[in-house]
Amino acid sequence: MTYGATDEFGFRAVDKPVHIHDLNATILHQFGLNHERLTWRQQARDYRLTDVAGNVVKDILA
């Protein structure tokens, strides 16, 4: 499957770029996990794999 496009050198996404947080949120969604509730506690702070960003990319799932 191809999603988006890169420049002529394949160096940078120029069409429909996806951030790593969005990709992780999409993969976790496919596993049936809510990426906003998947947290762990370290040094008195809750951490998430997708940090405060991350949205499920619905176009990839279609």
The total domain count for the chain is: 1
- Taking the C-alpha atoms of residue 49 and residue 40, their distance in angstroms, rounded to an integer, is 9
Q: Which residues of the chain have pLDDT under 70?
A: none
Which pLDDT score, from 0 to 100, does residue 5 have?
94
The answer to whether residue 42 is domain-embedded is yes
**Is 40 among the domain residues?**
yes
Q: Is 27 exposed, middle or buried (0-12, 13-18, 19+ CB in 10 A)?
A: middle
Asked whether residue 30 is assigned to any structural domain, the reply reads yes
pLDDT in tens, 39-49: 999 999 989 88
pTM: 0.80
- Inside any domain, residue 8: no
Q: Are 59 and 16 in contact (CB under 8 A)?
A: yes
Predicted local confidence at residue 1, as pLDDT: 83
